[in-house]
Structure 1
Amino acid sequence: MASLTPEIELQRAQIRVRFIEAQIERLTSDFCDISIDAITGDASFRSYFRVQTKLSKYILMDVPPEKGSVEAFIKLNHVFAEGGLAVPEVFAFDVDNGFVLLEDLGSVHLADIVAQQGGDQHYQALLTWLPKIAMLRSSRWMNAYDAAFITQEMEIFKVWLLGQWLGYSSASDFESQWQKLTTSLTESMLAQPQVVMHRDFHSRNVMYCASAGRLIDYQDAVVGPVCYDAVSLLKDCYIKLPSAQFQRLRKESYRQLSDAGLLREMNYEQYIEYFNFTGMQRHLKAAGIFARLYLRDGKPGYLPNILPTLEYVIEAAQMYPQFQWLATWLHSEIIPMIEAKLAESL
């Protein structure tokens, strides 16, 4: 993604400062000595700034209108809060210029807690959020996670990771195998009860402020397969849970969704299959996105997550005869090519 010219960057900074000053003056009498510091962004076109005065602090989300809109974030913030989910408070926004002034939640994510403490009790608490998210009222700001959407996401892996990054030349039968894979995963995902899903419910999108978990990055919520958010959380691209903990938490995710009446008459064995098939689609898509972030957006920091993400795909594919080819192909052909590319890139 092309960088903004210095002139446009300066112009953007001036508009940003004017918005911040106007809102701080409106919100508080503590108007002196405003500091505005850029902080690490996420895997998107959004930028974030920590805004501080002597007595207060905020986070500014900055989305240049030519790159996207903040409107879905604002509308879905209300939907999630209305449904009992803990989300950051929105203090002010400017849709035309792409600014949102938010509550500052600090810098502690679930990922940080897991790294230090293991996080089991936090996972247990987060699993109770699954039915709350699923039962949110649908909104026109939520797309349907339909066959076209699922197929488009599968293509991200082919186009960006295989084609653009690896320069992979596929065998003659690859396209038919890939099409069968896409069809199988799509049918499995559409056969599940369709509910509201956060779509990126993982360790970097749950923050802890005053020991309470808060959900962020919900602007891409859609209506899709019921087990998708459980997959996102428990087969996290950034954290691999120990096997025993994963097995226990997956069963708890089933119980939470089942007790809420969201699984119809689905038994646990069927849930596991849906979980595995959904995970294969999600992780192929995610691996492709990590390559795209590097090639298109100049963000190499996600490249190390590609191999563990594809290991999830291999683990799941090995369980099903119809997907043995996928596990073998990834392990014998694609993983060695990725390892060579990583050695060059990192």
Structure 2
Amino acid sequence: MNRYKSLQQFLNPHFSDEEYQLAAITGDASFRRYFRLNRGQDSYIVMDSDPTKLDNTPYIELNKVFSEHGFKLPKILHADEKQGFFLLSDLGNIHLADMLEDKERTSHYKHLIKLSAQWAKMPPVAYMKDFDREFLELELGIFLQWLVEGFLGLTVTPAIDALWKRSAELLIENVLAQPSVTVHRDFHSRNIMRSNQQWAIIDYQDAVQGPVCYDLVSLLRDCYFKLPHDELEYLLEHAYKEFKEQGLISANVSFAQFKQWFDLTGIQRHLKAAGIFCRLNLRDGKLGYMENVLPTLRYIADVAQEHKALQPLGLWIANTIIPATRVAIKEKLGN
């Protein structure tokens, strides 16, 4: 309540000439809160990002960098960095997620693959961390900590620990073998918007230097939407050609190699995502993401079966983790 009063005090000087209406809108998976501010015919987005919980510097600095390179992002109109209040331009309310039944869906994805390639070519800046081994180990650890042990209450036996370490090493090596580019990290249907006939990007503040296939996985193996197999294969081949044309991968990288990078990067990302969905439930009391856990686990099990070295991981997920998760969701959440 105190932050809400402070937020109003932040806004009042900018809208003193006319009353405004402030309505909460769906937030993201972080500690940030969002509101839509309406004043007459004008609308804005207000972001409350408590600096005691989040470092807002990357949000501010990367906004400048990506905007200068021609990407459409929310404009920061006014900011109180000390308190963590931001007045942003309103990009509307149409996300890619709202357009997935569109007959032009494949065309949308092709345009976004090109956009992701352009994003990848952005030069690194100081606010982008490296997607290195330590970073990857931390991300993979989220799965064991928050899903296996935290949500399911399972004990990691020595045999499972050995299986996990072998699998994790393969996934880490796969990431580190890829060309390093600028990665959004959450380039998916809920963070891509259609605004004034342009594609706009939000939630960009966690950009890193990482594997060339990462954002492509976020887009084509979205945790919130599953593309039909044939459409995904077509778009993956299209991406392979686009990435070659953009100089992101060298001429001697075969499609088979590219697909392996893509598949294994997807397994790493989905392990992290499934763990984060459980963390949002257990730590932050956000239950809405739990409906995405089982589809995300099935991604892992299905793709792992296509790669011999990861089949044991896939079988563990399919035969132990998925059934236990299904039971736990029903018992703990009543779903």
Report the TM-score range of the alignment, normalised by the length of the smaller protein: over 0.9
Please give the residue correspondences for 1:80-95 in structure 2 after superposition, counting only pairs within 5 Å: 80-95=66-81
Question: Which SS does the other structure have where 1:139 is aligned?
Answer: coil
The 1-side partners of 2:57 and 2:37 are apart by: 21
2:235 alignment counterpart:
249
What is the distance in 2 between the residues matched to 1:312 and 1:224?
22
Matches within 5 A, 1:1-346: 9=1, 11-24=2-15, 31-117=17-103, 119-264=105-250, 265-344=252-331, 345=333, 346=335
Find the aligned partners of 2:103 and 2:26 in 1 and give their Cα distance: 24
CA distance in 2 between partners of 1:274 and 1:303 (Å):
27
Q: Structure 1 CA distance, aligned partners of 2:308 and 2:110?
A: 33
Supply the AA of the counterpart residue of 1:288: G
In 2, the alpha carbon distance for the partners of 1:316 and 1:214 equals: 30
Give the Cα–Cα distance (whole angstroms) in 1 for the partners of residues 104 and 230 of structure 2.
13
| Gap regions ≥5 residues in structure 2 | none
Native 8 Å contact 1:142 1:221 kept in 2: yes
How far, CA to CA, are the matches of 2:55 and 2:297 in structure 1?
A: 31
Structure 1 residue ranges (4+ consecutive) displaced by more than 3 angstroms after TM superposition: 115-118
The residue type paired with residue 275 of structure 1 is F
State the Cα distance separating 1:117 from its structure 2 match.
4.4
Q: Distance in 1 between matches of 2:38 and 2:103?
A: 30
Distance 1:138 1:219 in 2: 13
How far apart are residue 101 of structure 1 and its match?
A: 1.0
**Contact 1:70/1:99 (<8 A) preserved:** no
Q: Which moved more, 1:129-138 or 1:226-235?
A: 129-138
Q: State the Cα distance separating 1:116 from its structure 2 match.
A: 5.0
Superposition deviation, residue 130 in structure 1: 1.7
Q: Supply the distance in 1 between the matched residues of 2:273 and 2:329 (Cα, whole angstroms).
A: 17
1:4 aligned partner: none
SS of structure 1 residue aligned to 2:145 = helix
Tell me which amino acid in the other structure corresponds to 1:284.
Answer: L
- Post-superposition offset of 1:55: 3.1
How many angstroms apart in 1 are the aligned matches of 2:294 and 2:69?
A: 36
Whole-Å Cα distance in 2 between the matches of residues 77 and 49 of structure 1?
A: 19
Secondary structure of the corresponding residue to residue 192 of structure 1: coil
- Structure 1: state its 5+ residue gaps: 1-8, 26-30
Deviations 1:8-48 (A, max 9, x none): x2x211211111122335xxxxx311111111101110000
The normalised TM-score by structure 2 is 0.96
Counterpart code for 1:261: G
Count of matched residue pairs: 332
Between 1:253-262 and 1:143-152, the stretch displaced more is 253-262
Q: 1:238 to 1:118 in 2, by over 3 A?
A: farther
**Separation of aligned partners in 1, 2:79 and 2:3:** 16
Q: TM (normalized to structure 1)?
A: 0.93
1:306 counterpart letter in structure 2 = V
Deviation for aligned residue 1:336: 0.6
1:57-114 Cα distance to aligned partner (Å, 9 max, x none): 1001111121113221111111111222221222111211101211111211101110
Contact 1:85 1:215 in 2 (8 A): yes
**Percent identity of equivalent pairs:** 41
Deviations 1:262-305 (A, max 9, x none): 11231111000111110110000000000001010101111110
- CA-based RMSD of the aligned residues comes to 1.3
Cα deviation, residue 118, structure 1? 6.2
- Whichever residue aligns with residue 132 of structure 1, its letter is Q
Equivalents in 1 of 2:15, 2:108: separation in Å? Answer: 34
Partner SS, residue 189 of structure 2: coil
